[in-house]
Structure formats: C-alpha cells, structure tokens
Structure 1
C-alpha cells in the first residue's frame, strides 16, 4: 500500500478510504504546560496572541508528535466575541464563561452585524493562517469551535435548558443565530487554511436533553454546519462530552465524517451504534494520560484499538499538566497500528 503524507492520511481516514496506518491526531485541545515551557508560549497569552497560539499549536507536532496542528485551546472565544463575561485563563487553567448576554429575542437581534475580524475569533483565524502557511502542504490544519447548542447556552446562561422546554420559538431563533455564526466562522477558518474542522458541543448531550429535544434542537443545526463544510470540501468531526452511547445514532444522523467519543463510552458498543462516521477516542485524559506511566498508557491505548476504535485520541481535552512522555506513548501506539 502507498505511503501518505499526514494530511493525505487523515483526509482518507475521515472519508472512509484505506490508508497504510493510523494517523496520530487529537481533535480536542492539545496545550500542556510542558509544551508551553518547551516553546516559550504560555496561556493566557497563547489564547490571545496569534503568533503564540500558533507556536503552542505547533508544539503538539514538534514536541508531542501529533500529525496535525490544531487551534484554539478553549471554547470561550465565541461567547467572549458576543460580549459574555469571561473568567481569565491562567497558565494551567482555561478561561470560562461566567456572564451571559441574551435574555430576549430582541437581544439576539442586537448581536447581528458582527465582524469576524475582531477579538479572539480574529486571533484564531490569524493563527490558522500562520500554521497553514508553514505546514499546510504536509500536515492537517485543524480548526475548532464550540457548537451552536452550547454557544446558545453560553449566551443565554442556565436558563437555556428551561427555554427549550418552555419557549420553543425563542430556542429555535437563538439556534438559527448561533448556527449562522458557526457557519460563517468555520468558513473563515477554512479560507485562512483550515482543511478539517472540529465541532465541540459539550452541552448538546442526549444525556441532558433526551432524544426528542436532541432531534429538534441539535440534529438539524449540526447538519447545516456539516453541509456547509462539505460544500467546501472540508471534513468535520463532532465531539460531545459524557456518556453519549444512547445518542450516537442521532449524532451520526447529522452527517459528520467522524464522532469523537468520551472515555465513558464503550468502544465496542459505540461501533455497533454508528453506521457512517469514523469513531475517534477515547483515552481517559485524567486517569490514563495524566496519571498513569507511559507503559500503562500504551497498554490502555492498545486495548482501545483492539476494541475497534478507528482513530486513537484522548476522550476529551488534554489536561494541562499531562506529561509529555505519556502523550508521546499514545502517539507511538497510534502510529504503530497498521489497518
């Protein structure tokens, strides 16, 4: 079988085509303190400065060995862009959303007419261009963004879960707004050089809202984003945190090339529930990657491959204190697996 560049290899796997071996990638956040120290690019500056963001993303490849470069490292830039209050990042901890900006349908209207060149949204797009200019011919350049359901929750606050039950018109209007934003943002990342996308929608969980509401408030909006990316020839992966086992058929229904599964999901069971998407995961980022030895990491990773995972990767975002040698052990197992 022919050998492929990392970019070709990942694209073929995500499109269901044969390759020589498993790619070594991470669809969730990749930054760690040891990488920051290795390349002198630290949070919080690497969240806010395009050069430093690109430099830390590059460390995932040059220090860890991932066969892709990926930005950003958090899922708050979109909410901050629309004016939500953000708890700042530290060197070890990502920023978080602590204040919200939408209560009424009028508030949604007031947020329209935005420019994607501003704020950290613009920084992410600039970082993608830096990475694409340097690595775009060889490596996949992964753009990532929060999904429309979780962005709606960031904008509306904890009221969001009640709203979709009590005010369907408002809920659908807000989702139309966030989905339109997602599509515009994703297109700008692609225009700047991203060739594969990751949609992280942590609160769009079957566990939290059930089948009926997932089908109404999540599936059609995810499908719109997938369609927009497919029109641009770009593959797209979905990640939802937690035990998504029962929701996997509905997640698959939106048409994603791949679904990234949490460590709480049994791989063999997931394989039986997903007909179309490639399955990515699901090494425990805390109990395994952060807290075990490299040899123990290798054993866990091999067990996940033996269970049938298509692409080995962390089950959620990498913990900032994760040792480099443990991530390298995971990469080693992935690269050593022949399909």
Structure 2
C-alpha cells in the first residue's frame, strides 16, 4: 500500500498492512533547513522546500501542508505576534469590546491574506508527492476562531449570552466551510479541523453551542469527497464522546488524553483515532530510544485497528530530526526495533526544583502551567485570563508562567503533581485544569485569597 492508501483505508475502518504514520511537522519543517517559523509561514518557496525535506527524512504516510491556526483570524482583523520558533499568536480581538458579528465582507476569499500562499504550496505538494502521500489541509476550528474574534470574553458569553455565541459560531462555521472548499479544490485528501479550545469547555457547552457547527462542517467535508479529522489539544478526555457524535472520520488527541481509554470510545463510534506522542518530554527532550520505546509500547498495548500514530500536536520547532526519524523507524520496522530495545531502560534526569513556601506567602501567588502560551491556543487564552487579573489586582498578586517546553518546568510539574496542561494553581492549590475560567469566576476566587 502507499501511504495515502494506508491513511485513507484506516479512516474508512479498513484493514491495512501497518499503522499509518502522520508527523505534524508544522514550522519544525523550516528548522530542518535553517528557516525561522515566520519565514516558512510567509514564503511559499521556503515552506515547500522545507516540507519536501521533511518528507524525505520522515517518510510519512500523511502530512499537513501548513500548521497555522491564525490564517483565518488574520483575515478577520486579528493582529498577530510573530515569532522565530513557533506559529504566530493572536494579539488583538476585533470584537473584544462589543459582542458583535464580523462583517460578511471579511469572509475569506481565495485572494485573502495568506490563502494564496497556502493554495500555491498545496498544489506543489500535490504534484510532487500527492499520489503516494495523504495531504492534510488544516483549518482553525469554529470555536477557537470565535475565541480569536471575541477574546476571553467568550467564556463569560457562554454563561450570560448563549444566543450571541451561537450567532458567532454560525459566522465562524461559514468561514470554515469556505476554507474547506478552497482546500478540497486544491486536492487535500484530509481536512483537519483543529480546535484546541474545545478541550477547555464542558461537554454540555460543546453540545449546546458547538455540536451543530462541527456536524455541519464534517458533513460538508464528506460531500466534497475528502476525509475529515477533528483535532483537539489538551485534556479532551471528557469531550471524546461528544466529538464522536459530530461524525468526523478521525479524531486526533495529545498526551493529556490516555490513548487506550479514548480509543475504546472512538472504536465504539467507528471513528479512527490519531496521536499521541508527547511533544516535549519525548520528541523535544527525549532520546531516539525513548521515542522508539514509546511507539513500540503503544503498538503493543493498544489495538492497532483504526489507529494513526502521530505527535500529539504541532511538533515543537527544535525537535531533533533524529528523534522523528527514530519514530518513523519504530513504526516501519517494529520487530527489529523491539529487539533493539529489549534491554533499554530510560534514564530520567535528576533536576532539583525548589517549591515556594506556600503557607508563608503574604499575597496570592498564581502559577500557570502551560505547554507554551506563545504557541498553544488553549495556553494563550488561559495566560491572557491571568494577565487580565494581574492588570486588575496589580501588586496585590504575583503571577508566573511555567512553560513545559523547558526541562526544569517538566521537573516542576512532576514535583507539583500537575497532570494536565494548561492549569492554574493559586498558592500551590489546583484551581483550574484544562478549563479556562471566566473573568468573574477568576476574580472571585482570587479575592478569596486576598
């Protein structure tokens, strides 16, 4: 089978010769050739050359053409902050001050923003590797897009003004449908709707505010002749079943979700599942053997039917290419790799971390544990909530962000017992995990500590 046939078959619940491998290379592809994230996301030639180099090195069955959830937001008037080592983040929200719906005149066209660049590279990738490789077109999901437009206020809107949220979701769904049309016309085999903020709301809110949008989108993708993937980051454990009910062909999860438990649910709905190689502890900071062992253990402990192996999300920029090659080898040559690793034991790093004396603090200390608020949308909005609180409370509180991309913070998470990201602790006590509080709720809890 070709890689493309393998991915298409597994998403149709058919038998394949081995588990498909889909690396979400994103801006990491640029790092291979020495380009910054901003360069590959703004220059079609650099993006194409980087993707082709990643293709040669990692031998994927499927791969995304671009991993940037801000393409649509930029077109709709959001100001972006660019970085060298991750996709841009959203800085401004055009509807943050007033609960309104963006003008229909902003609806994306093929000529809007960076869409021409994306379509150009999609065509080139289709011509170069499209016969043998399943190409993914990634689109920002409607709820995360609505959050980009409205900002953190959307979490209070969900409580006080559901009708507005539904109208905003209708608008964002229309945006997504336009992007689906453009990407399927460009020959994308799989349309992935990437909506990291879905993990930050309750299943009840998903059902009442998001179900209709996602069902409409996945039905449209099917009508366009492509396969679909519902990509969510963070601890989406409680959302897996309601996500399945929107009828995507596949769901992709990250390391916050236990693969075996999630797969039991997706299997019951006839949905393929993908994931969930840890991004930082393994891909970024682990050894080749660590990455191989994780993959072999997954293959040995999880039912191989309806399964795609991939990173838990967009690969960090600085992942050593040797680690990704090792993953590819473990998938393609599982028996020989298993034999190679039979006496291997991972060596944990002994990093000393000193925790604050929480009982002796003279004011509330808010610690935010994130993957990285510069690159993870859910982390961005959780950190924005804390920044708003800092502006309000000023010197009466102290705040800090611990990014999981740094080894010392991985050790800190272990010592604190942090199990899911993003999370907010106040004076050493867990207050929110994988759910973003509204401003009113956050202020009320902080007040109780002052």
* Structure 2 counterpart of 1:250: 242
* The 10-residue stretch of structure 1 (226-235 or 111-120) with the greater mean CA deviation from structure 2: 111-120
Q: Is the Cα–Cα contact under 8 Å of residues 107 and 175 in structure 2 kept in the other structure?
A: no
- The C-alpha deviation readout for 1:109-135, integer Å capped at 9, x for no partner, is 355454232211222122111111222
Q: Is the Cα–Cα contact under 8 Å of residues 136 and 190 in structure 2 kept in the other structure?
A: yes
* Structure 2 counterpart of 1:102: 95
Distance 1:70 1:58 in 2: 12
Question: Aligned pair 1:322/2:319, yes or no?
Answer: yes
* Structure 2 counterpart of 1:154: 148
Q: Is the Cα–Cα contact under 8 Å of residues 30 and 60 in structure 1 kept in the other structure?
A: no
Query: Please, which runs of 5 or more residues in structure 1 have no aligned partner?
Result: none
- The C-alpha deviation readout for 1:117-164, integer Å capped at 9, x for no partner, is 221122212211111122222211111011000000001111111112
Higher RCO (Cα < 8 Å, 6 or more apart):
1
Q: Is the Cα–Cα contact under 8 Å of residues 72 and 108 in structure 2 kept in the other structure?
A: no
* Structure 2 counterpart of 1:68: 62
SS in 1 for 2:192: strand
Question: Aligned pair 1:11/2:8, yes or no?
Answer: yes
Q: Which of the numbers 296, 310, 314 marks the counterpart of 1:313?
A: 310
After the TM superposition, which residues 213-232 of structure 1 pair with which residues of structure 2 at under 5 Å, given as runs?
A: 213-232=205-224
Query: Please, which runs of 5 or more residues in structure 2 have no aligned partner?
Result: 336-450
After the TM superposition, which residues 112-127 of structure 1 pair with which residues of structure 2 at under 5 Å, given as runs?
A: 112-127=106-121
Q: Is the Cα–Cα contact under 8 Å of residues 99 and 150 in structure 2 kept in the other structure?
A: no
Distance 1:109 1:250 in 2: 31
* Structure 2 counterpart of 1:184: 178
Distance 2:321 2:26 in 1: 11
* Structure 2 counterpart of 1:132: 126
Q: Is the Cα–Cα contact under 8 Å of residues 244 and 265 in structure 1 kept in the other structure?
A: yes
* Structure 1 counterpart of 2:27: 31
The CA deviation at 1:336 is 3.2
Distance 2:174 2:61 in 1: 31
The CA deviation at 1:197 is 1.3
The CA deviation at 1:65 is 2.2
Distance 1:107 1:199 in 2: 21
Distance 2:182 2:104 in 1: 22
Question: Aligned pair 1:197/2:194, yes or no?
Answer: no
The CA deviation at 1:326 is 0.5
Q: Is the Cα–Cα contact under 8 Å of residues 88 and 95 in structure 1 kept in the other structure?
A: yes
Q: Which of the numbers 161, 166, 171 marks the counterpart of 2:165?
A: 171
Given the two structures, how large is their TM-score scaled by the length of structure 2?
0.70
SS in 2 for 1:119: coil
- The C-alpha deviation readout for 1:32-65, integer Å capped at 9, x for no partner, is 2xx4354454421210122222222222211222
* The 10-residue stretch of structure 1 (178-187 or 37-46) with the greater mean CA deviation from structure 2: 37-46
Distance 1:257 1:107, change over 3 A: closer
Q: How many residues align?
A: 329
* The 10-residue stretch of structure 1 (131-140 or 320-329) with the greater mean CA deviation from structure 2: 131-140
Distance 1:105 1:37 in 2: 40
Given the two structures, how large is their TM-score scaled by the length of structure 1?
0.91
Q: Which of the numbers 286, 291, 294 marks the counterpart of 2:285?
A: 291
Distance 1:5 1:250, change over 3 A: same
* Structure 1 counterpart of 2:257: 265
Bigger Cα Rg: 2
* Structure 1 counterpart of 2:435: none
The CA deviation at 1:335 is 2.2
* Structure 1 counterpart of 2:330: 333
Q: Is the Cα–Cα contact under 8 Å of residues 11 and 272 in structure 2 kept in the other structure?
A: yes
CA RMSD of aligned residues (A): 1.8
The CA deviation at 1:210 is 1.1
Q: Is the Cα–Cα contact under 8 Å of residues 2 and 132 in structure 2 kept in the other structure?
A: yes
